[in-house]
Amino acid sequence: MPVQCSNCVQRRAVLKRPKTGHSLCKDCFFWAFEEEIHQTIVSAGLFNRGETVAIGASGGKDSTVLAHVMKVLNERYDYDLNLLLLSVDEGITGYRDDSLETVKRNQQQYELPLKIVSYEELYGWTMDAIVKKVGLKNNCTFCGVFRRQALDRGAMMLKVDKICTGHNADDVAETVLMNVLRGDIARLRRCTSISTASDGEGAIPRCKPLKYAYEKEIVLYAYFKKLDYFSTECIYSPNAYRGHARAFLKDLESIRPSSIIDVIHSGETLSIKEGVKMPVQGTCSRCGYISSQALCKSCVLLEGLNRGLPKLGIGKHHRLHGKILAQEPLTEQEEKKLKAVDF
């Protein structure tokens, strides 16, 4: 017996929404999905009129859907935004070069200008080279830190006002869980905010318009709209700690579909005791970007890579910051600790 769409009741339902369990027809689903993102944008006041916004595009489903929806909403509700695509090339063969092709296709399909920045030109290191030095376990740290900076630098080159990324509800929920498991109180407090604080010190605010959209719904949307995206996992991802949090979240979702939003709700409503030590925001003394220590993380990581001490950025190393700044050589003992593990 065919089920009718629960919204328009006229057309036949073709899918069941993972988020609420209602059955909807194609057009009602598109409309509901886009409306929710519009509500998110409006109620959080993410954008102002006339701004230039860079969309972080990786060629994957999140950023493709984000680009598409932003374009649609920009026209439908007249946000008066100037949109463009910004992509980062980490230098992972077999993964990133393929996805970049997808981004180039997106550029033509959506008629948005595109800029690509690469690790090679910014730092002098590709991810493949980094993994050869660091090993398979801690490399996500490097990639993530470098990518943040790369996005910022690319955005500054293009002179945009805001960056938006395709982080979806599953990502935010995973981050909450991971921060609890790792005991990272500072991040736990900040990770559920929909946009980073804009201090005006050369830091461009980043926001997540897809924060309340389930990953499954994003895939459903892309599937029914026949959007073109690249769907392979990063080849280095199986060893990441985040994988555990992700598996847990997937199991939770199978027991109770609303748990993803529940986790985000918990993350938003929990509060930290006063008197807990929190990092204070300052600037890096070498490159001038935001940092809570004397040297920003990417400077530390780069220093480690360049000196052949890849473990410099992993673990606690505050005491060495002074030495690095002053360009002093490290003692033999310190060097031994920081060298890479031989396989």
Contact residues for other proteins, defined by CB under 8 A = 3-4, 6-9, 16-17, 19-24, 31-32, 35-36, 39-40, 43-45, 176-177, 180-183, 185, 188, 194, 211-212, 244, 248, 251-252, 254-256, 258-259, 261-274, 276
d(CA 71, CA 76): 9
Residue 27, annotated as binding a ligand: no
Between helix 96-110 and helix 61-76 the angle, nearest 10°, is: 10
Nearest CB to other proteins, comparing residues 269 and 327: 269
> Least distance from C-beta 244 to other proteins, angstroms?
6
> Least distance from C-beta 228 to other proteins, angstroms?
27
Nearest CB to other proteins, comparing residues 192 and 291: 192
Residue 58, annotated as binding a ligand: yes
Residue 166, annotated as binding a ligand: yes
d(CA 274, CA 261): 27
> Least distance from C-beta 88 to other proteins, angstroms?
27
Residue 78, annotated as binding a ligand: no
Residue 88, annotated as binding a ligand: yes
Nearest CB to other proteins, comparing residues 22 and 148: 22
> Least distance from C-beta 209 to other proteins, angstroms?
11
Q: How far is CA 311 from the centre of its chain?
A: 24
Residue 57, annotated as binding a ligand: yes
> Which among 240, 326, 235 is positioned nearest to 285, based on CA atoms?
326
> Least distance from C-beta 310 to other proteins, angstroms?
22
Q: Return contacts of 34-40, CB within 8 angstroms, 24+ apart.
A: 34/69, 34/72, 34/73, 34/76, 36/212, 36/213, 37/69, 37/73, 37/209, 37/210, 37/213, 38/73, 38/77, 40/194, 40/209, 40/210, 40/211, 40/212
> Is the separation of the CB atoms in 320 and 330 below 8 Å?
yes
Q: Which residues are annotated as a binding site?
A: 56-58, 62, 88, 166, 171
Q: Which residues are annotated as a binding site for ATP?
A: 56-58, 62, 88, 166, 171
